[in-house]
Amino acid sequence: FVYKDQITVGQLMMMQFYSFFIFGPLQELGNIILSYREAEASLNNLQELFRRKPEFQPANPEKLNAIMSLRFENVHFQHQSAVRPALEGISFEVKRGETIAFVGPSGAGKTTLVKLLVGLYRPSEGQIFYNDFRGDRIDFDEFRHQIGFVTQDTQLFSGTIRENLLFVNPGATDEQIMDVLQKAAGQNILARADNGLDTVIGEGGLKLSGGERQRLSIARALLRQPHLIIFDEATSALDSITEEEISNTIRRITAERQHITIMIAHRLSTIMHADRIFVLEKGKIAETGDHTALLTMKGLYYAMWRQQIGERKEVPIPV
């Protein structure tokens, strides 16, 4: 167009400037629309959260005090979208100083049972008793402050070792922190920490292995001075050597018999020491007993044990 004298050089330059000022904002408008859609989705989720009913609290809750016993009586639970119950007819009792474990295939109802236990779900039928008080008669906030929870996914914050532990008990002293680290066999962590408890962990700080992270998680649970400790697949993400070390740590803690201990596991080697083992299958308790008794039954537990360990190690079966 310039060579044919249909447009001058000045007009061409002016058109380019106009194009820059027009198409730049139009491109930014697309980014604004994208951000708006993301914010809209987040706002919808927030509104859905606000529409949920607050957790039921009894008008005059019973004084729970320290948890000394837990009891399930014929508990049933079914998810709203499920075609069959997640749990059926679950009954058991555990008292302070005892260790019980729940095992079973995926989908057997182990995670659902834990959520019922801590009050995140409510039974469709049956009752859960805490110190002989029904679940609908207690303040679950008071109860949850007595729980130490160790999961397979350890959540640590970017901060010091002390800050990560004090998160559950801000008033704990250094002596208490050192005591729980000792019980959780976390001395090796402090041996590598240049600044002791004030050593920063995570990005830009001390790098922790999976086993060390799990030891900090156990120490944090103990620092809460719980009356109930729940180990939910605490070693499933670890290699076999680290798993054995963590399992030995858990055994030493449960051997003190200062808490009610509930363990959820796929790997049966981690729960062999439990006083009672409940084998869940399709939401029901299929077998109950200690490790030796369950092996003698030669049922589902025996099959799981042979699959996991029996092929590599001879399993002594009592006569």
Q: Give dist(CA 95, CA 260) in Å, integer.
A: 6
What pLDDT, on a 0 to 100 scale, did the predictor assign at position 3?
58
Domain 69-310 classification at class level:
alpha beta
Confidence at 113, pLDDT banded by 50, 70, 90: very high
13 token code pair = 């330059």
For the chain, the three-class secondary structure string (H helix, E strand, C coil) is: CCCCCCCCHHHHHHHHHHHHHHHHHHHHHHHHHHHHHHHHHHHHHHHHHHHCCCCCCCCCCECCCCCCEEEEEEEEECCCCCCCCCEEEEEEEEECCCEEEEECCCCCCHHHHHHHHCCCCCCCEEEEEECCEEHHHECHHHHHCCEEEEECCCCCCCEEHHHHHHCCCCCCCHHHHHHHHHHCCCHHHHHHCCCHHHCEECCCCECCCHHHHHHHHHHHHHHCCCCEEEEECCCCCCCHHHHHHHHHHHHHHHHCCCCEEEEEECCHHHCCCCCEEEEEECCEEEEEECHHHHHHHCCHHHHHHHHHHHCCCCCCCCC
The overall average pLDDT reported for the chain is: 85
- Is it the case that residue 314 has pLDDT exceeding 50? no
More confidently predicted of 248 and 77: 77
Confidence at 96, pLDDT banded by 50, 70, 90: very high
Q: Kindly list the domain boundaries of the chain, sorted by start residue.
A: 69-310
- Is it the case that residue 24 has pLDDT exceeding 80? no
Confidence at 99, pLDDT banded by 50, 70, 90: very high
What pLDDT, on a 0 to 100 scale, did the predictor assign at position 1?
53
Backbone torsion region of residue 27, taken as left when φ is above 0, otherwise alpha when ψ lies between -120 and 50, otherwise beta: alpha
Across 13-35, average pLDDT: 81
> Lowest-confidence range among 48-52, 54-58, 64-68?
54-58
pTM of the model: 0.76
78 token code pair = 């079914």
* CA 201 remoteness from chain centre: 21
- Is it the case that residue 17 has pLDDT exceeding 90? no
Q: What are 184-241's pLDDT values in tens digits?
A: 888 888 888 888 888 888 777 788 888 888 888 888 888 888 899 998 887 776 677 7
26 token code pair = 């139009």
> Lowest-confidence range among 7-11, 19-23, 153-157?
7-11
87 token code pair = 């749990």
- Is it the case that residue 9 has pLDDT exceeding 60? yes
The answer to whether 165 touches 199, Cβ cutoff 8 Å, is no
